[in-house]
Amino acid sequence: MSLFKAHNIVKQYSNHIALDKVSITVPEQSIFGLLGPNGAGKTSLIRIINMITAPDSGELFISGEKLQPHHKEIIGYLPEERGLYKKMKVGEQAIYLARLKGLSTSEATLRLKEWFKKFEILPWWNRKVEELSKGMQQKVQFIITIIHNPKLIIFDEPFSGFDPINTNLVKDEILQLRQNGATIIFSTHNMESVEELCDNIALINKSKKILEGKVKEIKNTYKANTYYIELADLKGNLIDLLNQNYEIKEEWKDENLTKAKIKLINDCKPNELLSLIMPYSTIHGLSEILPTMNDIFIQRVSEDMLNK
């Protein structure tokens, strides 16, 4: 079941087409990666979902209803361009922004202080924003984004400005938000974060969606039938043991082990590879090499550019 759908969204600025009939489906209680190079159209789509701008054509739906202004109450948005009032006190500003999201002063104060304590920034409650480090300001904005328990949360580069420890802290909280029922659209250039967090992704390039699906299924689709193998006490040369059905992509020695990446061709199976090698070596390990999301991103965008 989907929480959010965009159907054939078109957006044009002067002579520039930002989105060209882009459609995405975001499953309920999932983390959906919205990916693409700079200028691909991601931010334009995010701004449309948040009703900051309107599409020239196309439709958007939340829980089966057409997107309407009242849906702003169930959306949380952390933009890439951060913006807190530098001269205001942190707690005062957080309460003000939480009240704009429909919370009473007392409820906002209670929830905010719980989150400030969790993120170890409660001692900064009465300090001015300009006194906070960039990372601390990021924590405040993250908290403000999710303080009203939105059903749909949109994070645009949420880890910008965080050190590795705080990045992991925020990743854990994003996973917990999903566990608690939220649906998350997550835009980033960090493919490692996509691997760790996302259930589904859509890849946009030059205003068009060129790939969409479950992360696991996409990785399986783009795998190259290549395996990593570790061998001990190899008798002879590995290349002499194999036939035309195998291609050694890389081979190296590591202490007493022979290691290699071998591509299987002509529909050969891993067991057939093992049967060839076992009489001549002790096999320490065999594992399939799956492409990373970074590999797939580069390959798919490169292919798309060649086809234009």
Q: pTM for this structure?
A: 0.89
* CB 190 within 8 Å of CB 12: no
Q: Which residues of 227-262 are buried (b: 16+ CB within 10 A; e: fewer)?
A: bebbbeebeeebeebbeeebeeeeeeeeeebbbbbb
Q: In this structure, what token pair is assigned to residue 209?
A: 């969606």
pLDDT attached to residue 231: 96
Contact, 143 vs 84, CB < 8 A? no
End-to-end CA separation in angstroms for the chain = 35
**What are the distances in angstroms from CA 177 to CA 29, 87, 170, 188, 258?**
9, 31, 10, 18, 45
Task: Provide the pairing of β-strand 183-187 with 200-205.
Answer: unpaired
**Per-position pLDDT tens, the chain of length 308:** 899 999 999 999 988 999 999 999 999 999 999 999 988 999 999 999 999 999 999 999 999 999 999 999 999 999 887 778 889 999 999 999 999 999 999 999 999 999 999 999 999 999 999 999 888 999 999 999 999 999 999 999 898 878 899 999 999 999 999 999 999 999 988 888 999 999 999 999 999 999 999 999 999 999 999 999 999 999 989 999 999 999 999 999 988 899 999 999 988 999 999 999 999 999 999 999 999 999 999 999 998 877 76
* Structure tokens given for 36: 């693409």
Amino acid identity of 194?
V
Q: What is the pLDDT of residue 80?
A: 82
Sheet holding 65-66, edge to edge: 16-27, 2-13, 57-62, 65-66
pLDDT computed for residue 172 by the predictor: 96
pLDDT confidence of residue 308: 62
Q: What is the set of domains in the chain, with CATH numbers?
A: 2-214 (3.40.50.300), 224-288 (3.30.70)
- Say which residues have a Cβ less than 8 Å from residue 158's Cβ, sequence separation at least 6: 78, 142, 170, 174, 186, 188
